[in-house]
Structure 1
Amino acid sequence: MLAVITGATKGIGKAIAEVFASEGFDLAICARNENELVEFSTQLQQLNPDIQILYKAVDCSNRDELLAFVDKVLDRYAKVDVLVNNVGLYVPGSVMDEEDGMLEQMIDTNLYSAYYLSKYFTGGMIEDGQGHIFNICSTASIKPVVAAGSYSISKYALMGLTKVLREELMHQGVKVTAVLPGSTLTASWSGTTIPGSRFVLPEDVASAVLNAYKMSEGAVVDEILIRPLLGEV
């Protein structure tokens, strides 16, 4: 069994990689920083010596680099069982005030990466009649974050892609799930004085993804919405 995870060395992506590795999945992971990929892969291999780990440094906003990752994975594996489109770019700013080009950056990273990987990895899933795609959306996919206009637009678009994929693939045996975390305690909150109890933890998201994957063949979780108990930070 193979799980492909983007943005896998930090936060939610890292936690998801860890839980699938612990379940005996081989992993194909990517992130921007090769040194972090090497370090994380080594840690995972030590904890899970029976699995194989393929990694590649990829700027997921770059289509050519993304498709090179696809080729590397498919050169080794006949098919992907689980695809987690986790990579994301968040830059705060209102639509009226942000620099030109910010929306394009968000769309390239947050939407097109999921679009291309879903398009090119699902062939094997369809042939096999099973597979699962998880798109890591956001609560910003259903309620705009005023201080993050382009980010919200990109996450609304990712939610739209998820819904389209769900309709297109359901009769092929391929499940598609949108994951919508609220404020999650990742590296982007480094240095905050807000108590950790006010956040969702990456491990919470990872366990929810794994549980959704373990549903029976005839069941699918369309959306996983996880919020901090006391509301968004």
Structure 2
Amino acid sequence: MTDLNGKTAIVTGSTSGIGLGLARGFASAGANVVLNGFGDAAEIEAARRELDALGAGRVIYDGADMTKPDQIEAMVNSAVAEFGAVDIVVNNAGVQTVSPIEEFPKDRWDMIIDINMNSAFHVVRAAVPGMKARGWGRILNIASAHGLVASPFKSAYVTAKHGVVGLTKTVALEVAENGITCNAICPGYVLTPLVEKQIPDTAKARGMTEDEVKRDVLLAAQWTKKFVTVEQLAGVALFLCSDVAENITGVALPVDGGWTAA
């Protein structure tokens, strides 16, 4: 298991779903972890306490709004003040809307681009100077199979995730000689609250039942016919933060049951 004792990780969008699973993995590996996201305050505190007890590091919560660049910068600065450094950033925050392009709500387009793509830029921009000064850093951008291929009715999400992959490659080249790696993890479908919420919308848009959406849409392209798990994604993330992965950078790594291989 990767040992991250003494390291500090910020995981955006980590109060539920994939992000919480990733944060649990980092906490178990001994890292200090900054949780971030929205939700019920009592539930977030319960999750923070649970993760705090898993390893040698401490777990804190920062409610920075990922649509607000000043709050994002303040979150990074606060983590540095609390722990002395930010060594790992995991840009995971995401939202989704499923709609035909001609009906796509303009405000949802802006929100999806801000949260899914622009926030990653702002987190990286704020964290890289400290990583360069210490000569070590790991940047993980949670993209998607939709960062590599498209699906109908998800124009904003697909656009944002393709942008995240492009950002990953560019940053990787810029920081390659500074002991910093930057990679994207591209999951297939994980049965998270985000995915479960889009099933009824997809069913309506395609004129299908919800069970048909799961079988014939979500898992249709995943040749394993299995949903990806958050534990599997956490394992991949920890590997990319390990010393043996120091020459893996600029990669968009599919974890998608063979979806993008076909």
Specify whether residues 217 and 224 from structure 1 end up closer, same or farther in structure 2 by C-alpha distance, changes over 3 A only: closer
Structure with the largest fraction of helix: 2
SS in 2 for 1:188: helix
Return 5+ residue gaps in structure 2 as ranges.
Answer: 1-6, 198-209, 220-224
1:73 to 74, 79, 83: 79
The reply to whether residue 22 of structure 1 matches residue 28 of structure 2 is yes
SS in 1 for 2:120: helix
SS in 1 for 2:34: strand
> Which region of structure 1 is more displaced relative to structure 2, 38-47 or 117-126?
38-47
- Contact 2:32-2:57 at 8 Å conserved across structures: yes
Question: 1:89 offset after TM fit, Å?
Answer: 1.2
The code of the aligned residue for 1:38 comes to: E
Under a length normalisation based on structure 2, what TM-score does the superposition of the two structures give?
A: 0.81
Two-structure CA RMSD over aligned residues (Å):
2.2
CA distance in 2, matches of 1:91, 1:230: 21
Match of 1:93 in 2: 99
Question: 1:10 offset after TM fit, Å?
Answer: 1.2
Match of 1:228 in 2: 257
2:120 to 101, 111, 114: 114
The reply to whether residue 212 of structure 1 matches residue 243 of structure 2 is no
CA distance in 2, matches of 1:188, 1:101: 18
CA distance in 2, matches of 1:158, 1:138: 9
Specify whether residues 218 and 229 from structure 1 end up closer, same or farther in structure 2 by C-alpha distance, changes over 3 A only: closer
CA distance in 1, matches of 2:117, 2:42: 26
Under a length normalisation based on structure 1, what TM-score does the superposition of the two structures give?
A: 0.90
In percent, how many aligned pairs have the same letter? Answer: 25
Matches within 5 A, 1:1-233: 1-33=7-39, 34-48=41-55, 50-190=56-196, 193=211, 194=214, 198-216=226-244, 218-221=246-249, 222-228=251-257
- Contact 1:111-1:155 at 8 Å conserved across structures: yes
Count of matched residue pairs: 231
> Which region of structure 1 is more displaced relative to structure 2, 5-14 or 185-194?
185-194
Return 5+ residue gaps in structure 1 as ranges.
Answer: none
- Contact 1:37-1:56 at 8 Å conserved across structures: no
The code of the aligned residue for 2:159 comes to: I
Larger radius of gyration: 2
The code of the aligned residue for 2:46 comes to: E
CA distance in 2, matches of 1:189, 1:112: 21
Question: 1:65 offset after TM fit, Å?
Answer: 2.4
> Which region of structure 1 is more displaced relative to structure 2, 174-183 or 203-212?
203-212
